Amino acid sequence: MTALALPAPRPRAWLTDVPLLAVAAVWGASYLAAKGVTTRSTVLAVLVLRFGTVLPVLAVAGRRALKNLTAAQWRGAGTLGLILSGIFLLETYGVVHTSATNAGLIISLTMIFTPLAEAAVTRTRPPRAFVAAAATSVLGVVLLTQGGGFTAPSAGDLLMLLAALARTVHVLVMARLKSVQGADALPLTTVQLGSAVVVFALLCAAPGTGAAPWDAAAAFTPADWAGLLFLSVFCTLFAFFVQMWAVRRSSPSRVSLLLGTEPLWAAAVGIVLGGEHLGATGLVGGALVLAGTGWGRRAAR
């Protein structure tokens, strides 16, 4: 009598969920970290230092895959890198001019903008529930930016809104750029970040654009270095490799759901550690943003 082969036991879900939640947490904390280490005159320098530090690690880890990229894939990844540089510029300048809490909540509108843009491109009508969720999120952002009274949104709020739109463009271009489809994530990310660092370095070299990277680094305090290393090691390297690891062990929906908690962490870190105050109107707005993006994510499925 032969024994029946039993299927291999599935890994416990929490073994994958915990690292993904850690990624969402460090991403949420990244807005306060970036705000602490960056000033109006050091945005470009900090971006060069942040990504220039991790780029060699990514290049070494994916050196074989980089050699296998075709010329078209290099061009496609470079194009995506240009868009990515715009995203980081908008986000970093935005967080300098607004609160970390606002930044994390407003950028979460990407989860609403992306399906709406996808519907516009494909000329399909989004579900009514999703439209209602989008309206809820937009109302939430309006209230969020009026926590201190009904005034015009700050420049930082508007920059974060543009960053959310830029993230949407990045997702849509990546999904439709045939040259990068099927390529490994590691070399594509390396080329994208490399292209972005080149953009930041060129802008740094232009007169009147702020401090040079070496001047900013020389003026860093130990706390500044800790913040920069947190952004480089945890918010970039750790986050990227955990996503690559988790996506092979979980479903895309579950990964998206867990990473979608980023705005919750951003609000918690900004309020608890950053001492930021939203006020009653801002709290209601933040709650509506979270509710609307969560509702919209479910409706988009």
Rounded CA separation 164/110 (Å): 5
Structure-token pair, residue 92: 């970093």
Structure-token pair, residue 31: 């807005």
- 8 pLDDT above the threshold of 60: no
pLDDT digits (tens, 9 = 90+) for 70-101: 999 999 999 999 999 999 999 999 999 998 98
pLDDT digits (tens, 9 = 90+) for 33-60: 999 999 989 999 999 999 999 999 999 9
pLDDT of residue 253: 62
pLDDT of residue 279: 80
